[in-house]
Amino acid sequence: MVKGVNQAATGAEQIHWRLGDLYAGVDDPRLTEDMRWADNAATRFAEIYRPGLGGLDAAQLATAMAQLEAIRQRISRVGTFRYLSYVTHADQPAYGAALQAYEEAATAIQNQLIFFDIAWNAVADSRAESLLADPALAHWAHLLRNWRRYRDHLRSESEEQILSEKRVTGRALWERLFDETLTEMRFPLRGKQLTEQEVLTLLSDPDRELRRDAAESLSKGLEGRLHTLTTCFNAVLADKALDDRLRRYPHWLSERNLSNEISDKMVEALEHAVVGCYGLVARYYRLKAKLLKVSPLMDYDRYAPLPGDERRYDWTECQRIVLAAVTDFSPELGAIGQRFFDEGWIDAALVPGKRGGAFAHPVTPDVHPYLMVNYTGTVRDVMTVAHELGHGIHQYLAREQGYMNADTPLTTAETASVFGEMLTFGQLMREEQDPRRRLGLLCGKIEDTFATVFRQMAMHRFEEVMHGARRAEGELSKERLAELWMQTQTEQFADSIQFSPGYRWWWSYIPHFIGSPGYVYAYAFGELLTLALIQRYRAAPADFVPGYIAMLKLGGSKAPTEVVATTGIDLEDPEIWSRALDYMAGMVDEAEKLAEVR
């Protein structure tokens, strides 16, 4: 055995999701039958509503919306199964081919429905407002009103159909190439060939030499595939620029802000507040250098555990801790969380061919969410499980809004996940009496919070300059991308961290840049909003819980400002960011005090 490379068993090795609640298997005839049903239903829908959607009364429009939802839900159910099957078998071509075939078939069906958005946006404002004021449309009012916000960015029906079909063979394939490239990559380390997820896990190993070697292996591995990865980046950047031009979006982030139901000014206020506190990052990492007794502190030391704080948690212990935290907050939510573990709604095993990272998939309201993690037993993995379970519980509760209203904007989608992390952190701290380990837990939480707020905002700033450079300069070289990466990533640390040469290539493995442009600021938004919620909860627990659960149940049925208002927080108040950042500063204060008596 090679020290530090072979992972100890955690009990998660056999934790695989059971997709039978969706379909019996990849050859289940219902997969084909459901797509055929959706195709036929879409054809009938178009025949009925294309001739005169503008003349429908409120009750008729509500009926049309229910029919549209049923079609989209059936398509999504098939797509969910194909996608979840693929992410755990990404190294097997048959699964990728099945997913691609689904995408092409789904696009053809969806193209029959494009007329609906265009026709609805063509309805005069006065007529639309009259319809939306009718109680018969109460369930759909927010969604229909929100769709009209895209009116200036829609093309003609034939143009929309062309754009939709081209995406399947264009940007979507670049995303798939990126994912499959990283999935198949192996990083040599001390005689082993590690996956991306395995080598990233070693960056939080207690052995500094192993962390250094893991970082070097990751850097060299990425550098060896930069031709492909850089091409993927440039293709997606060019596609986004073209899409923004064709749809008349004024800047690269406009579409994302519109979908998040948030103004440009709110994002700017968030960025200004976070960047204004970059000094807190440098302050903390100077403390960490002292705690680790290393100088200089390197980039691969950022997530190192403190000496004597290398505890591992097996899967059973992880489950106990996370569920205890949720149940203590709300037995109702704890009972929902228990079902994820008991009924096969989680895939936790670390296996070849499985995509790295973690996610929660809402699936469709007639089934239930599924969670994917890659569990290795670290405290960070425990927090990841808590994060994804928070998403899953949120998605489960929002099902009552129906398929089209359950989905939440990114600005509120991260709230329950980060809240779940904070509850689990509190549980860990309550159970730990050893001052050294308490400091280790606190430092780990600070680092996770910093990664969600400061690191994600730094990555947002990288995206901003990257998209700007691609539009101003043309295709970007790997060296130019590296320059932009280092420029935006190092400023938060000042002189508290020294970066190894290969860190300049680490932009190339971040999937959000490829699959979800403009996504990452939502992490900072969600983290800071959650810190504001935690402060309210601690001030009045009994009063807070019902409003919080009500917020989760609303899903995306109302605007984020209305949804969050159920907890008493005003999203338009810029002071919520400064108060949350002050809370983070208090965590660093506490770490400094604990370090003095350690």
Q: What pLDDT does 247 receive?
A: 95
pLDDT at 593 over 70: yes
Q: What pLDDT does 165 receive?
A: 86
CB atoms near residue 307 (< 10 Å): 13
Q: In whole angstroms, what is the distance from residue 63 CA to residue 537 CA?
A: 40
The kind and range of the H/E element at 45 are helix 29-49
Q: What is the mean pLDDT of residues 412-426?
A: 94
Closest CA to 2 of 164, 252, 202, 184: 202
54 Cβ contact list (under 8 Å, min separation 6): 119, 122, 123, 127
Cβ 102 vs Cβ 79: under 8 Å = yes
pLDDT at 433 over 70: yes
Architecture of domain 182-310+450-521: Orthogonal Bundle (1.10)
Q: In whole angstroms, what is the distance from residue 176 CA to residue 87 CA?
A: 11
User: Looking at domain 315-436+529-596, which of 1.10.1370.40, 1.10.10.1110, 3.30.365.10, 3.30.1360.80 is its CATH number?
Assistant: 1.10.1370.40
pLDDT tens profile 97-121: 999 999 999 999 999 999 999 999 9
Q: What is the mean pLDDT of residues 317-333?
A: 99
* Separation in Å, CA 40 to CA 29, 44, 63, 81: 17, 6, 18, 21
Q: What pLDDT does 5 receive?
A: 58
Q: What pLDDT does 447 receive?
A: 96
pLDDT at 2 over 50: no
Are domains 21-169 and 315-436+529-596 of this chain identical in fold?
A: no
pLDDT tens profile 192-242: 999 998 999 999 999 999 999 999 999 999 999 999 999 999 999 999 999
pLDDT tens profile 47-93: 999 998 889 999 999 999 999 999 999 999 999 999 999 999 998 99
DSSP 489-530: HSTTTTTS-B--GGGGGGGGG-HHHHHSTT-THHHHHHHHHH
Query: What's the per-residue H, E or C state across 192-234?
Result: EEECHHHHHHHHHCCCHHHHHHHHHHHHHHHHHCHHHHHHHHH
Q: What pLDDT does 4 receive?
A: 52
Q: What pLDDT does 598 receive?
A: 62
Closest CA to 577 of 534, 510, 541, 528: 528
497 Cβ contact list (under 8 Å, min separation 6): 285, 296, 297, 298, 299, 301, 302, 490
Q: What pLDDT does 309 receive?
A: 66
Query: What's the per-residue H, E or C state across 316-351?
Result: HHHHHHHHHHHHHHCHHHHHHHHHHHHCCCEECCCC
The more confidently predicted of residues 154 and 24 is 24
The answer to pTM > 0.95 is no
- Work out whether the CA dihedral 554, 556, 560, 562 comes out positive or negative: negative
What count of Cα atoms within 13 Å lies in the side-chain half-sphere of residue 383? Answer: 20
pLDDT tens profile 351-403: 989 988 899 999 999 999 999 999 999 999 999 999 999 999 999 999 999 99
Q: What pLDDT does 7 receive?
A: 66
Q: What pLDDT does 546 receive?
A: 96
How high does pLDDT run on average in the chain? 95
Q: Where are the domains of the chain?
A: 21-169, 182-310+450-521, 315-436+529-596
CB atoms near residue 503 (< 10 Å): 21
Q: What is the mean pLDDT of residues 180-188?
A: 95
Strand-pairing partners, residue 360, are: 371
pLDDT tens profile 462-508: 999 999 999 999 999 999 999 999 999 999 999 999 999 999 999 99
pLDDT band for position 127 (50/70/90)? very high
Q: What pLDDT does 572 receive?
A: 85
pLDDT at 1 over 60: no
Q: What pLDDT does 6 receive?
A: 59
The more confidently predicted of residues 169 and 231 is 231
* Separation in Å, CA 149 to CA 52, 143, 153, 564: 22, 10, 9, 21
The kind and range of the H/E element at 100 are helix 93-111
pLDDT at 308 over 80: no
pLDDT tens profile 515-570: 999 999 999 999 999 999 999 999 999 999 999 999 999 999 999 999 999 999 99
21-169: CATH number? 1.20.140.70
The more confidently predicted of residues 266 and 463 is 463
pLDDT at 166 over 60: yes
Would you state the structure tokens that stand for residue 467, as one six-digit string? 């998209």
